Chain A
Amino acid sequence: MNKSDLKLFGVLTFVLSLFLFVLFGLPGLLFGIFFVLVYWLPYTFIISKFFDDIYERIILSLFFGLVITPTVIYYVSIIGISFKLVIYSFICLIILFIVYLYFIKKMDNKNI
Chain B
Amino acid sequence: MISTIKKSTLELSLLFIVFLLTIYIWTLPVSTLPFGDVDSAPHFILADSMSYYDMASIYRPYPVTDFFNNPPKEIHYWYPPQFHTNLAIMQVLGNDRFIPPYILLAIVCFLIIMSIFLLINHLYGFIPAILSSLFVGASSRDYWVYLWGQWPQATSFFFVPLILYAYFKYVHTNEKKFLFLTSFLSVSQYIIHPQGILHSGVALIIFTIIFWIKQKKLSFDYKWVAICLFILIFLIFILAPLQFMGNLSRVDDVASISSSDSVNNSLSHRIIRLFQWNPPVNNSIPQDYFHYSLSYGLWTLPFLLMGIFLIFYRRNNSDILMISWLISIYILLHLDLLGSASRLHRSLGAEAHLFFPLIVLGIIFFISLFKVNSESNKIIYYVIIFIVVIVILSTSWVSAYNNLNSAYGGISRITKEEYDASKWVSENTPLKTNMKVVGTLVYAKKKWITYLAYKGPIYGPDIFDDDNPNNKLANYAYIDYSDAYSLGRKDVVNAIKEWELSHFNGKSPIYDKNNVKVYIVE
Residues of A within 8 A of B177 (CB): 50-51
A60 to B74, CA, bound (A): 37
Establish whether residues A31 and B57, one from each chain, have CB atoms under 8 Å apart when the complex forms.
Answer: no
Of A73, A82, A91, which one neighbours B85 at CB under 8 angstroms? A73
Measured CB to CB, the residues of B under 8 A from A are: 8, 12, 16, 20, 23-24, 27, 30, 50-51, 53-58, 81-83, 85-86, 88-90, 92-96, 99-100, 103-104, 107-108, 111, 114-115, 117-118, 121, 159, 162, 177, 181, 184-185, 188, 191-192, 239
Establish whether residues B20 and A19, one from each chain, have CB atoms under 8 Å apart when the complex forms.
Answer: yes
7 nearest CB pairs, A to B: A70-B85, A27-B96, A77-B56, A34-B93, A27-B99, A70-B82, A67-B188
Chain B interface mostly helix, strand, loop or mixed? helix
**In this assembly, does A83 line the interface, its C-beta being within 8 Å of a C-beta of chain B?**
yes
A66/B108 contact (C-beta < 8 A), A23-B24, A27-B95 known: yes
Measured CB to CB, the residues of A under 8 A from B are: 8, 12, 15-16, 19-20, 23-24, 26-28, 30-31, 34-35, 38-39, 50-51, 54-56, 58-60, 62-64, 66-67, 69-71, 73-75, 77-78, 80, 82-84, 87, 91
Q: List 8 A-B contacts (CB under 8 A).
A: A19-B24, A24-B30, A60-B181, A69-B89, A74-B82, A78-B56, A83-B53, A83-B55
Establish whether residues A56 and B55, one from each chain, have CB atoms under 8 Å apart when the complex forms.
Answer: no
Residues of B within 8 A of A35 (CB): 90, 104, 107
Residues of A within 8 A of B100 (CB): 27-28, 30-31
A-B pair count, CB < 8 Å, reads 127
Question: What's the minimum C-beta distance from A23 to chain B, rounded to whole angstroms?
Answer: 6
Residues of B within 8 A of A87 (CB): 89, 92-93
Residues of B within 8 A of A54 (CB): 8, 12
Residue of A nearest to B241 (CB): A75
A25 to B23, CA, bound (A): 15
Residue of A nearest to B101 (CB): A31
A15 to B16, CA, bound (A): 10
Residues of B within 8 A of A51 (CB): 177
Of A28, A69, A71, A75, which one neighbours B103 at CB under 8 angstroms? A28
